[in-house]
C-alpha cells in the first residue's frame, strides 16, 4: 500500500479513537495523539522501504535505521513495536508509546490485507 493511503487510514482511525478515549475519560489523549502522529509520519514501519515518505521526512536521521535492511522485516513485526512500547512505559511515556504502538499496529494490519 502507498504511504499516502497508510497516512489517510491512520489519521482516520485516530480521528475515531480520540472521541472514544475522551468518552472513556482516560487522560493522556494529547500524548497518545502525538505518539500516533509521529508513528504515522515519521517512525512508521515503512522506514525499512527505500524512498518511503517517512524515511524521506527523517532526513539524515534515516541512517539510524541502517538495521532495517529488508522491507517488511523487523519493522513490520509487532514484537518490535511492543518492545518499543515497553521501553517507553519504563521511561514513563506510556501514552506516547501507546500512540506509536497503535499507529504501527494499524499499518501492519493494513499491509497484511494487501
Ligand atoms: Zn508497510
What is the total count of domains within the chain?
1
Q: How far apart are CA 21 and CA 53, in angstroms?
A: 29
84-93: long-range contacts, CB 8 A cutoff, minimum separation 24: 93/31
Q: How far is the CA of 106 from the centre of ligand 1 (A)?
A: 10
What does the pLDDT look like over 90-100, one tens digit per residue? 999 999 999 99
State the virtual CA torsion across 77, 79, 80, 81 in degrees, nearest 10: 100
Q: How far is the CA of 23 from the centre of ligand 1 (A)?
A: 31
Query: What's residue 67's pLDDT?
Result: 84
What does the pLDDT look like over 31-85, one tens digit per residue? 999 999 999 999 999 999 987 999 999 989 988 888 887 888 899 999 999 999 9
> Domain limits at 18?
3-113
89-93: long-range contacts, CB 8 A cutoff, minimum separation 24: 93/31
User: What count of other Cβ atoms lies within 10 Å of the Cβ of residue 26?
Assistant: 12
Query: What's residue 114's pLDDT?
Result: 73
Q: How far apart are CA 62 and CA 55, in angstroms?
A: 6
Query: What's residue 102's pLDDT?
Result: 98
Evaluate whether 41 touches 7 at the Cβ level (below 8 Å).
Answer: yes
Q: How far is the CA of 100 from the centre of ligand 1 (A)?
A: 14
Q: How far is the CA of 99 from the centre of ligand 1 (A)?
A: 17
pTM value?
0.93
Q: How far is the CA of 35 from the centre of ligand 1 (A)?
A: 18
Query: What's residue 51's pLDDT?
Result: 79
Amino acid at each position: 500500500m502507498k504511504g499516502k493511503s497508510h497516512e489517510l487510514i491512520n489519521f482516520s482511525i485516530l480521528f475515531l479513537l480520540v472521541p472514544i478515549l475522551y468518552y472513556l475519560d482516560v487522560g493522556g489523549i494529547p500524548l497518545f495523539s502525538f505518539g500516533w502522529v509521529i508513528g504515522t509520519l515519521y517512525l512508521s514501519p515503512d522506514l525499512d522501504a527505500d524512498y518511503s515518505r517517512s524515511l524521506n521526512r527523517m532526513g539524515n536521521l534515516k541512517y539510524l535505521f541502517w538495521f532495517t535492511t529488508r522491507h517488511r522485516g523487523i519493522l513490520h513485526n509487532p514484537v518490535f513495536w511492543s518492545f518499543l512500547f515497553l521501553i517507553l512505559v519504563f521511561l514513563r511515556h506510556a501514552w506516547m508509546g501507546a500512540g506509536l504502538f497503535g499507529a504501527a499496529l494499524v499499518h501492519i494490519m493494513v499491509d497484511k490485507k494487501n
